[in-house]
Each structure stands twice: as C-alpha cells, then as structure tokens.
Amino acid sequence: MPSQQTSNTLHFECETGNYHTFCPISCVAWLYQKIEDSFFLVVGTKTCGYFLQNALGVMIFAEPRYAMAELEEGDISAQLNDYQELKRLCLQIKRDRNPSVIVWIGTCTTEIIKMDLEGMAPRLEAEIHIPIVVARANGLDYAFTQGEDTVLAAMAHRCPEKAPQAVVRDDKRSSKLLSLFSSNKEPNALVSSSGQASHPPLVLFGSLPQTVASQLNLELKRQGIQVSGWLPEQTYSNLPVVGEGVYVCGVNPFLSRTATTLMRRRRCKLISAPFPIGPDGTRAWIEKICSVFEIQPVGLKEREEQIWRGLEEYLQLVRGKSVFFMGDNLLEVSLARFLTRCGMIVYEIGIPYMDKRYQAAELSLLQNTCQQMGVPMPRIVEKPDNYNQVQRIRELKPDLAITGMAHANPLEARGINTKWSVEFTFAQIHGFTNARDILELVTRPLRRNHNLEELGWTRLVQDHSSMPQALPA
C-alpha cells in the first residue's frame, strides 16, 4: 500500500486533462422538470439523441419538454440552412407547447462545425416572440454537471434588474414582505420595522427540487433571513432580480461559471460558503450567510447534533471504512468532507474540474474536518487518468469506490464495492434532513456485501475475480 499523506495541507494534482465523465447534456433531465414552463432543444447528432433516450428512460412516465434537433450530413457539410431548420422546429414547439422560454443546448458537433447558435438566437427570438437562451453543454469543454452551470450562467443574463421587493424583520425575528419603490435601478436594502438596516436581498443559485429548496428557505427563515429568489425558479417568468447590491450564494460546487457571471456581469456580491450537503455542510452554509448579514445564528449546533443522532445506525456501518472517489459529477469534495465527518477514510478525491476560488470555503472545511477527525488529508486529483486510478485502487483496496458507470462493473469483478456517482446527482442530498439519503446510497453496497458474506458467496466472487481475463483461442 502506498504511503498516505500525514500532513493536513491540501495537495492538488492534475493528470491528463481529459474528462472521463457522464455527458453534460444530461442536465436537461433535471432542468426541464425544475423550470416548468421551459422547453429544451438539444442541437446534436443521433448519438446525442440515443444518449438522452437512454439516460432519461427512467422518466418515461413524465411528460418531457425536450427534443432533438438532429444534425444530418447536409447540416455538417453546410448544405442546409441552419437558421431555417431551427426556425421550423421552434415554431412547431411554440404551436404544440407554447413555452415561456426555449433553451438551445449546444453539443460537441455544434462546436466542431462552428454553428453560430448565439448569432441565430436573437434574430429568431424577435421573429417568434419567445425568449431563446443558448447554453453550451458539450463534452469537449465541460464535465457532467457543468451542463447546468452553462444553462444558469446564460439565464443570469436574462434576470431583471428592477429593484426587488424588500424583506423586513420585526423585533420578534419574523419576516414579511414590504414593497419599497425607488427612483433608481439599484436594489433597496432591507429595513426592519424599527427603521434599522436589515439584510440586503439574497438570491440562491442552483437547481434543486422544490421540496429541498423550500427546506433551505425555511432553515434560513428560522435565522431571520428571507430568500429573495432562486436561479432558476420554477417558472422562467419569475427569474430573480440580480444586480448591484444583491448577495448571491450557491448550493452546488459545480456552478463556478454562474457565480462568475453573477459577480462580473451583474455586479452581485458572492457569499463564499461551504455547500449545504450533510448536516456539517448545511450548518456551515447557514452560519456563513448569517455572518455576512451580521446575524447571530440560533440553535444550529443543536440542530446539527440532532441530525447526527438520527444517523447513528448508518454511522456504525461506515466508521473506519475507506472510500475512493474516481471523479464524475464535481460533488466529490463535498461528499468526501461529509463522509470524513462520518468516520470514513478518504484515500483520493478525483474530480473532473476544480475551481479553487469558488470551492475555497468547502476546501477549508474539508481541511478542518480532517484535523478534527485525526485523519490525513486525501489527495485531490483533477482530471484523473482512469488507468492510473485503477492501479491505485488495486493497491489501496478501499472498501468502496464511488465511480462513473463505465468503471463500476470492472471494479466489482475485481472485488471492489462500487457506487455510481450519477446517483448522487439525481438524489436529494442537500440540507439537514436529506443527509440520511446520502448514507443510504453509500451504505447500500456495503450492506449488500455483508449479506453476501453471510450467505457464503464472497469466496465465489473472489475466485471469479482471480480468473484470467481472456482465454486462449
């Protein structure tokens, strides 16, 4: 076994520069459900269509609001008029669905043939009178969940600038809405009933199921903080007001492009906080927002301890176990920090892309967690080489590997328990109450392995993994 780091300093590596991840156009799967009056048009080849058809097959009972604009040989060789074809499709979408917004998702092929989606969209938008948002979600430039990042960054440009309604807090720390009108375009600061300044507008960004977003809203409301809006909202027409004087805070670690757009283009103030994943991360996220607004948080420590007590049955299964992240959905640092706090040993955090500035608070919390738990800092490998990772997994022999679907079966055949990283993307893992769902996913392969051992099947699996990989002809 190779020696692990004994220091508590962050150690970063970068191996290949390649993205070994799920395709980012899969962001359509959760975004079209979140933004209920939207329609997503993916511009790509039949390969993209086959991928979406299989990746979203689990949602066959839901009425989808997405479609493929398939590129044929004539499109690729510039023999057809791209504008006329997209216009035909968008007019059909308007006639059949009449959405409030159409989102064009650019794929790898649109990048290769230099299709000018950004140039065609304003012209077509003026003709059909429906907003058209262009987002690049190609696998050449972006990893799995960064597809959502490009969509939200594009939508940030469409957010209104008019001064929002302000939120006031009375002396009993309850919140209510108060319409304040100003002659200028800047958002008004929030004022209390006593006339003293209260917290400025707060907008949260990141696509979460409405139930989870409501939970986070409620947790902040308990501290006397009112959320002015979310990016995205359930409807495109309700996009939040963003601009100078508005504070923004992300809920997912893969939204660095959106954060940059909100800061540089819309002049918002970013609250750099750990992400609300796990009870420890949720508490740190709320505390950081409170500190920015100079509010003393109340009852957070007791709230976190209550959640940990409720997780004890799962914690008994993971304490002392080791885990290896191969890297796929950019949630790896947050999940590794939470599992470290649960008592697990993290050997390596593979991650497709690392924005150290946007994840600075999360990395700091990971470092503090390792110090508190008395475990070495895991190595963080950006754009890992999968071949090298598999060799390290064979040497380290972790109890669990969290990996993309491509490597799950090969690792299982070699006696390594695996969990698909994509499952964490689609599961509800944010906030205090959803920490149980994270541990349910993590412990499922461990519990399965334990059951197999009781049945005496472990020996059979080990014998099968030691067989030669190929038989002579």
* pLDDT at residue 288 greater than cutoff 90: yes
Percent of the chain surpassing pLDDT 90? 51
Mean pLDDT of the region 365-393: 91
- Nearest residue to 420 via CA among 13, 33, 21: 21
Residue 181, classified by CB atoms within 10 Å of its CB into exposed (0-12), middle (13-18) or buried (19+), is: exposed
- Residue 329 and residue 421 in contact, taking contact as beta carbons nearer than 8 Å: yes
Mean pLDDT of the region 329-350: 94
DSSP 16: -
pLDDT in tens, 127-153: 999 999 999 888 878 888 888 999 999
Q: Residue 405: its pLDDT value, please?
A: 82
Between residues 236 and 186, the one the model is more confident about: 236
Residues 252 and 63: their CA atoms lie apart, in Å, by 27
* pLDDT at residue 162 greater than cutoff 70: no
Residues 192 and 197: their CA atoms lie apart, in Å, by 6
Residues 358 and 276: their CA atoms lie apart, in Å, by 14
Q: Residue 144: its pLDDT value, please?
A: 86
* pLDDT at residue 246 greater than cutoff 90: yes
Amino acid at 49: G
pLDDT band at 370 (very low <50, low <70, confident <90, very high): very high
Any idea which fold 166-292 has? Answer: Rossmann fold (3.40.50)
Q: Which residues of 391-402 are buried (b: 16+ CB within 10 A; e: fewer)?
A: ebbeebebbbbb
Residues 296 and 95: their CA atoms lie apart, in Å, by 52
pLDDT in tens, 76-132: 555 456 888 889 899 999 998 889 999 999 888 888 878 888 889 999 999 999 999
- For the entire predicted model, the pTM comes to 0.83
Domain-by-domain residue ranges, the chain?
12-16+300-465, 24-142, 166-292
> First and final CA of the chain: distance in angstroms?
36
Q: Residue 171: its pLDDT value, please?
A: 39
What is the length of the chain? 473
Per DSSP, what are the bridge partners of residue 229? 203
* pLDDT at residue 195 greater than cutoff 80: no
Residues 279 and 436: their CA atoms lie apart, in Å, by 10
* pLDDT at residue 238 greater than cutoff 70: yes
Residue 272's CB: how many other CB atoms inside 10 A? Answer: 16
Between residues 68 and 237, the one the model is more confident about: 237
pLDDT in tens, 396-427: 999 999 998 888 888 888 888 999 988 898 88
Mean pLDDT of the region 387-400: 91
Residues 31 and 38: their CA atoms lie apart, in Å, by 9
Class for the domain spanning 24-142:
alpha beta
Among the ranges given (26-30, 122-126, 215-219, 312-316), the one the predictor scored with the smallest mean pLDDT = 26-30
3-state secondary structure of 206: coil
- Nearest residue to 187 via CA among 203, 202, 201: 201
Q: Residue 104 is encoded by which pair of tokens?
A: 């064009």
Q: Residue 85: its pLDDT value, please?
A: 85
pLDDT band at 449 (very low <50, low <70, confident <90, very high): low
Per the prediction, the chain carries an average pLDDT of 82
pLDDT band at 184 (very low <50, low <70, confident <90, very high): very low
Percent of the chain surpassing pLDDT 70? 81
Residues 225 and 402: their CA atoms lie apart, in Å, by 36
3-state secondary structure of 157: coil
Cβ-based neighbours of 190, under 8 Å, separated by 6 or more: 166, 167, 168, 169, 197, 198, 199, 200, 201, 226
Residues 121 and 104: their CA atoms lie apart, in Å, by 9
Per DSSP, what are the bridge partners of residue 166? 178
pLDDT band at 296 (very low <50, low <70, confident <90, very high): very high
Between residues 30 and 345, the one the model is more confident about: 345
Q: Residue 24: its pLDDT value, please?
A: 84
| Cα 427 from chain centroid (whole Å) | 11
How large is the angle between the packed helices 82-96 and 117-128, nearest 10 degrees?
Answer: 40
Q: Residue 178: its pLDDT value, please?
A: 29
3-state secondary structure of 428: coil
Mean pLDDT of the region 224-253: 93
Residues 181 and 200: their CA atoms lie apart, in Å, by 15
* pLDDT at residue 468 greater than cutoff 60: no
Between residues 148 and 457, the one the model is more confident about: 148
Any idea which fold 12-16+300-465 has? Answer: Rossmann fold (3.40.50)
Mean pLDDT of the region 6-19: 74
